[in-house]
Structure 1
């Protein structure tokens, strides 16, 4: 017996001449109970049995305990005698960790106090540490209550193994001199008919599992507390960002306020009203004229947008103030893409004003919401094609579609060159509250 990587398979192969798999990778080799072929030691016929440690990566401790207990119970029912139990521990270990302690406790519970005289605790890899260190560790392992003292007091034999054949033979020879013994787990499962959880080893295992579960719960609670702290810090960071943005906005508003006041005074002095068209009796049966405007011949192929806007503005000056016929019902439906009364909004296609040169060699397209409304409703809103914004107030146009009234509201854009964005937002907000 012993934890994995303590040299169980290597010891058995040396003592019996077997070829059990020796674990050299991270995965343990002995995932099952492995008896050797019978071999002779003097006149006695011997079988060594390799058992998995209680720290296997492929099986749980409960599965390992059940496996060992069932094998030993089967030996007891068949009358096969047990001469002893060999427990291997690495003397090279700097610490007796939880895995080693768990395997030690399970070893003591499986054997029981009465069978400890048939137990040998082998300090393996003795030759791999200095004499002073190994002797100090042997003394501590023998005399400490949390290590092997109880087993030694009950009769267990502690011996060093240096990896030599003679050392392995000496350990077997010592055990073969002992009287055969029944282990505590054998008596509990066969004579007393106990279930494995009721045996001494089962109780220790349940206690170990409960301790580990409690440790995991504490770790989970610690992680939950850390997560809550992270979430609290995240909320504080978000609040700090919001406060920072609010203060920056207030600073920006303070900086914009003098300019906005001047703009308001200028607009109020200009007396620009919100224009509302309420004529909803325009006939929809009339076809609109082509929205094509002729502009003078352009001498330079690379005319700027400002030049184009100026010439186009002059060209359409005659159309401003004159109503064109509104779009027919079918064409308006296509532009607005109405799908039925269940639609709560429209996908509006923004049309373009087609501006042609006199020689028809080049056509330019100028996108404008005002042009769109003029085309659809036959209205006469002013259209600006220069770099300066033209729509500075909300302009409303009413018309009909399918016998139902429709109102278009043309608002200033947020890229307006004449008004700050905050003022445009307030303008739209007031309009939506009282259209």
Structure 2
């Protein structure tokens, strides 16, 4: 017999991992930066990636055996580059990955990097459908694509929906670059922060912004104001490949970023993570650029365009940043026992590059995301790690 659908309004009590919601002509657009922060920059790259809902998920309790979600995706393509795969939606039932799907339709923005122009083509919303779920009360999560702007249009089920009850899980607030957002991972729960959150039994708020982990003060203030039990910041790669600052500015900027977080979270476990291994920028400064020879063969790869000789004048490389972050963290930890440090090479180092190379010379693939997550979990969440759960 035909399914009788119940439409449930999508509201904030069904969403996890978003810091703001924008009402659009189509529905609701989750944001990972609040409106006041979005008003403080004009960078199109950050505007694009913060609206890509990495770590954002719908979560509800229901007996439904069928779930439909209408969304309006916005996909970005680049002139001369291969098209990216469509965004993936992961379905979790009682915490277990059960299904995956993608939607058709949606808007497309084509960016011509040579001319700096963009073209926007509108399309209709699409629908993902999950069926065959067990007829029992269960907690359902739909993780939204980590790399595709997603407007939420309508949620339908064949049984009533209520917000999932709080499970008293600790909240982990994490900030980083495209690697933290999940670049090259095949689905939203395959990114290293999502895997580590699952292994650590915590709720993730992911402020990983592709190309935009740049020690922006509004990001630090956002973290200051966001409730969290655990906080981490992964700093470095974007500062090098954007060629944003010199060593003289870097150390004070890191101190200021951490000071601001501490204004709102004075004793919360705070973990500073340095960059993973990336051969193009270990000793060569930025800026980073596309490898045009690789593009001519249809492959996306990155290269460093700086001069290694300019390190003496303060240009940043990953080795310089790792050393400086270790020094800054040790200095501050003398007065801040809840501040900790992880060397990114302990998560993914030179030997890992041989075993699981970065496909584009910059971003880990899905297997490397899992390796990073498992190592992060061992260092942060287990035994005497800074994120280990303790009773006082």
Q: Which has the higher contact order (CA 8 A, sep 6+)?
A: 2
TM-score scaled by structure 1?
Answer: 0.25
TM-score scaled by structure 2?
Answer: 0.27
The structure where strand makes up a greater share of residues is: 2
Larger of the two Rg values belongs to structure: 1
The structure where helix makes up a greater share of residues is: 1
